[in-house]
Amino acid sequence: MQPGLSGEAFRAHVLAWLAANVPAGIRIDQPGYQEPDLEACRAFEAALHKGGLAGITWPVEYGGHGLTIREHLIANQEIGRRGLPESINSLGKELAGPIILAIGNEEQKLRLLPPLLEMKQIWCQGFSEPGAGSDLAGLRTRATRDGDHWRINGRKIWTSASPWADRCLLLARTGALEDRHKGLALFAMRMDAPGVTVQPIRQIDGSTDFAEVILEDVPVDAADALGAPDEGWGAAVRVLSIERATNRMYRAWRFENELSHLMRACRSDATLAGLIGSGEYHRRLAEIMVDIEIIKGYVEPTVERLAEGEAIGDRGSLMKLHWSEAHQRFAVLAMELLDQAPPGAGDEVAAARARFQSTYLRGRAETIYAGTTEVQLGIIADRMLKLPRER
């Protein structure tokens, strides 16, 4: 990529790169789509980085491209509009990476960040635990210092990407459980370390891309401890604010792509075309369009605030809450429409039905991961509205 590109010049670069480099059949909204396997996704994401479309804001010395979050937004807009595969390393690029940049030492940044962007290392996130639910401060996984190592014992649950991850951004307790927010530490744990057992969990759509991770006396080099032992809670909260507000920034534009795909499929069949012309579906489809524009209207000002050096803070809950609830409503509407197609409705309808059945099933988790709807409402009520708690 030509150095120094920004604004519309950068958008032109993104458009040209995508036109020349997106493999045939990888766009889920196009005829002939074939779901890519893990290695195909890894190769495509590595190519995105090489082409200047990933690691955009990271310093050049750590494998990035040294641009701004405005360019990051531009790339995400164009990636989302094309229905490209979901990132298999978003937890690394958008959660682990920023935390390492924020609290890691120089050696860690040089060692851990370039392989992450080059897709030589995929990351998962070890936060949630059995019994703790959404109460992150209630975690029990323990880290104990043992000479030049830490020893990790505990269990993590719903660990996305763990069946194929190389490292885990792991949160563990170094102090007493009663301390809650104190004595928590972050680690860049190797998933191939002795004592790590990954037990995939089959999801409602048949996939097994997340798992329970059992940790039995797992050795972690002291060099892989991120920040100070008491710095874990603050860093974890920062991770979650990023996850809720800016992780997978392309969601708004991918949502737009999904709506366009649904409309195209419905217009290809006379029965469905008649349905979307009815008053009820006029209203409901218009409401989805409003939802999409609201999400865009949140993302773009957030990017500007971040570009000016402001923190995301609790406002990340607004984005996460609205996107997850709106996307579930859309998935219900999409399946309701497509299920009314007559037999033999055509390839366009069949392809859309396959896409939105998966969207519907996986979407059941969207109001749970990165903090449940109830957690987000609690944050908004407690921290933003300053409402009193019931006694």
Q: How does pLDDT run across 186-241, given as a tens digit for each residue?
A: 999 999 999 999 999 998 888 888 899 999 999 999 999 998 877 777 777 766 66
| CA–CA distance, 363 with 357 (Å, rounded to integer) | 10
pLDDT of 275-293, one tens digit each? 998 889 999 999 999 999 9
Active site residue 243: yes
Residue range 143-147: mean pLDDT, rounded: 94
pLDDT of 24-38, one tens digit each? 899 999 988 999 999
pLDDT classification of 176: cutoffs 50, 70, 90: confident
Tell me what the pLDDT averaged over the chain comes to: 90
Q: Which residue among 243, 256, 348, 366 is the active-site one? A: 243
Contact 220, 193 (CB under 8 A): yes
DSSP 42: H
Q: Which range has the top average pLDDT, 39-53, 83-97, 134-148?
A: 39-53
pLDDT at 362 over 80: yes
Contact 122, 88 (CB under 8 A): yes
For the chain, give the number of residues.
Answer: 391
Cα angle value 219/226/136 (rounded, 5°) = 90
pLDDT classification of 55: cutoffs 50, 70, 90: very high
pLDDT classification of 2: cutoffs 50, 70, 90: low
Ordered by where they begin, the domains of the chain are: 7-87 (no CATH), 123-230 (2.40.110.10), 248-384 (1.20.140.10)
pLDDT at 380 over 80: yes
